[in-house]
Amino acid sequence: MSLLDGLEVGQVVAERSFPLTRDSLVRYAGASGDFNPIHYRDDVAAAVGLPGVLAHGMLTMGFAVQPVVDWLDARGWVSDYQVRFTRPVVVDPQLGAVVTVVATVAAVDESGARIDLTATVGEQTVLGKAQVRVTTLA
């Protein structure tokens, strides 16, 4: 089935929750090369006035698009992706944090679609203007 068949603006195409732990942050630090200690050291985070150790913004951006990638399967690819980092995600050493992502169709044209993401922790939005351009694979 083609990616665009029956796709309608406003349709929710994917929804997923991502439980983060401190382990997730250490793994992302290693994979990305971003070793800023505010992402794994409580003392450093406190010293610069943060409410706690924060997830890398790029980690949140990285997983927030995955529900769209999984929904696409082999029918298309992500050709453009942008986010604004509006609120940091504090990751508690014991409880971690849970980020919930909802992906909604914002526009459809002949070669693909724009999917908008919401990413929330509890009631609070952590990404703004999160837009994914998906392009059909010929």
**Positions in 98-137 near another protein (CB under 8 A):** 129, 132, 137
Spell out a b/e string for 27-56, using b for 16 or more CB atoms within 10 Å of the CB, else e: ebbeeeeeeeebbbeeeebeeeeeeebbbb
Backbone φ and ψ of 28, nearest 5°: -70, -40
Q: Which stretch binds another protein (CB under 8 A): 3-11, 59-67, 105-113, 118-126?
A: 59-67
Residue in the structure block whose two tokens are 């991502």: 18
Residue in the structure block whose two tokens are 């929904």: 71
Give 9 or 137: the residue with its C-beta nearer to another protein. 137
Q: Which stretch binds another protein (CB under 8 A): 1-9, 82-90, 105-113, 115-123?
A: 82-90
**Do residues 100 and 119 touch, judged by C-beta distance below 8 A?**
yes
Q: Is 77 in the site for another protein (CB under 8 A)?
A: yes
The binding site for another protein (CB under 8 A) comprises 18, 24, 27-28, 30-34, 48, 57-59, 61-63, 65-66, 69-70, 73-74, 77-85, 129, 132, 137
